[in-house]
């Protein structure tokens, strides 16, 4: 339309410049343009269009998904536009020339995200106009914590084989929970003989014990502003929740009771330890509701409250983060107090980009400065983790992709060694 108007303007100016003989026809290009525009509108007047979309359902955070759209009636050259909400990302424009499209997106934040409208774009027959209707969409996408490994059965198989399969015979006689009596035979540990019952039966009988179950396992999630920092495309808190739920499922399969504690500037959520898969379902639901906080974590208040709420010795798995030795001072002190009563596993997420930056060769002075500062940051990180280790805390410091496997392996080792 702009090009046609520009041509009409040039013709009108030319007619005016040429003199009185042609000045009367200067308006003719505009009349012709108006007629052509009217014809174009009559030929291209838009029919009412409808959009249908398949429900997306729940999407795991950090995973891709697709939005299947269908427009009726379709038009050649038809395009669409979506404004993506904060928790989702994908292409803003897409082709609908055949009336259908599957838009690939990725979930990057937990929550329920809504697409209120979709815009359609197409040109008129003579390309003088472009139609841009806005159509109510109302598509909802629920992004939930990632439990892909739980659904796959991988964790269940690992835990059952380690605790109840090939290692069952090794667990007997090495635990603290009474299992059964059996006749004493040469080669058995003499300390296992039950002398009172042996006297009653007039033959040697031995006690068999097995690994104790029904331990309390508490997942403690630091949800302060430092856990909003992104690693591998997701906030640290989402990586932590994924690993926490995987471990909670392993603990439920292992016969232990699992609880949840979330905190930032103050304690926010405490679910007392419960057994079975129902506890896992509850944990998954409540972690999905955790918001992304921008407040600094109060470790003193959080650890004191957790210590008060857990009088029984428990396995407490703490997911947290820190910047340097100064900011970590209170965290180390309060985790150390907690470690006097409980068995603590501290989980820190390592940033692979920082590790790669230290190992890379700097090309200029700016790179040298960044490498030195990053190296100092990683050194202080190692100092803090070493201090925690000296307090008897088990440390898991690894990249996000490995944390679930490392944590479950650590949990199974703790169970096998009866450390709780």
pLDDT of residue 173: 41
Mean pLDDT over 55-60 rounds to: 91
Mean pLDDT over 277-305 rounds to: 92
**pLDDT tens digits for range 203-261:** 777 766 555 568 999 999 999 999 999 998 999 999 999 999 999 999 999 889 999 99
Mean pLDDT over 312-329 rounds to: 90
Alpha carbon dihedral 197, 201, 205, 207, in 10-degree steps, equals: -30
* Mean pLDDT of the chain, nearest integer: 84
pLDDT of residue 184: 67
The larger pLDDT score, comparing residue 362 to residue 188, is at: 362
pLDDT of residue 24: 55
Q: Is the peptide bond before 203 cis (omega within 30 degrees of 0)?
A: no
pLDDT of residue 384: 94
C-alpha 302/C-alpha 223 separation (Å) is 11
Percentage, residues of the chain above pLDDT 90: 48
pLDDT band at 179 (very low <50, low <70, confident <90, very high): low
| 248 three-state secondary structure | helix
Mean pLDDT over 16-26 rounds to: 52
C-alpha 205/C-alpha 188 separation (Å) is 11
| 174 three-state secondary structure | coil
C-alpha 184/C-alpha 147 separation (Å) is 46
* pLDDT higher than 90, residue 276: no
In the beta sheet, which residues pair with residue 317? 219, 345
Mean pLDDT over 371-381 rounds to: 87
* pLDDT higher than 50, residue 174: no
Q: What is the CA radius of gyration of the chain?
A: 33
Least confident stretch, 77-91, 105-119, 125-139: 125-139
């Amino acid at each position: 339309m702009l090009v046609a108007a520009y041509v009409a303007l040039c013709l009108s100016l030319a007619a005016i410049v040429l003199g009185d003989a042609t000045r009367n026809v200067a308006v003719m290009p505009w009349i012709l343009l108006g007629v052509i525009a009217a014809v174009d509108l009559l030929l291209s007047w838009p029919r009412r269009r409808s959009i249908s979309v398949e429900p997306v359902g729940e999407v795991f955070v950090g995973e891709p998904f697709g939005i299947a759209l269908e427009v009726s009636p379709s038009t050649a050259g038809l395009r669409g536009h979506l404004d993506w909400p904060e928790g989702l990302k994908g292409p803003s424009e897409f082709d609908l020339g055949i009336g259908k499209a599957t838009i690939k997106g990725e979930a990057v934040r937990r929550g329920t995200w809504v697409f209120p409208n979709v815009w359609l774009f197409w040109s008129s027959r003579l390309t003088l106009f472009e139609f841009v209707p806005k159509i109510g969409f109302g598509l909802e996408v629920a992004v939930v914590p990632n439990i892909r490994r739980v659904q796959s059965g991988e964790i269940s198989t690992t835990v059952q084989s380690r605790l109840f399969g090939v290692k069952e015979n090794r667990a007997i006689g090495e635990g603290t929970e009474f299992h059964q009596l059996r006749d004493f035979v040469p080669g058995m540990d003499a300390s296992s003989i039950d002398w009172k019952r042996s006297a009653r039966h007039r033959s040697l009988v031995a006690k068999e014990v097995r690994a104790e179950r029904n331990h309390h396992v508490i997942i403690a999630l630091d949800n302060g502003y430092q856990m909003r920092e992104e690693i591998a495309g997701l906030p640290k808190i989402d990586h932590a929740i994924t690993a926490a739920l995987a471990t909670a499922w392993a603990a439920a399969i292992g016969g232990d009771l699992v609880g949840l504690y979330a905190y930032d500037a103050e304690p926010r959520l405490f679910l007392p330890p419960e057994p079975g898969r129902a506890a896992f379902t509850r944990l998954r639901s409540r972690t999905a509701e955790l918001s992304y906080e921008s407040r600094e974590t109060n470790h003193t208040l959080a650890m004191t409250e957790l210590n008060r709420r857990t009088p029984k010795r428990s396995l407490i798995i703490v997911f947290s983060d820190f910047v340097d030795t100064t900011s970590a001072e209170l965290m180390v002190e309060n985790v150390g107090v907690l470690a006097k009563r409980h068995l603590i596993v501290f989980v820190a997420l390592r940033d692979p980009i920082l590790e790669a930056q230290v190992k890379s060769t700097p090309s200029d002075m700016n790179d040298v400065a960044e490498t030195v500062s990053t190296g100092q940051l990683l050194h202080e990180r190692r100092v803090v983790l070493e201090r925690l280790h000296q307090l008897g805390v088990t440390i898991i410091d690894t990249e996000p992709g490995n944390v679930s496997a490392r944590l479950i392996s650590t949990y199974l080792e703790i169970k096998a060694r009866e450390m709780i």
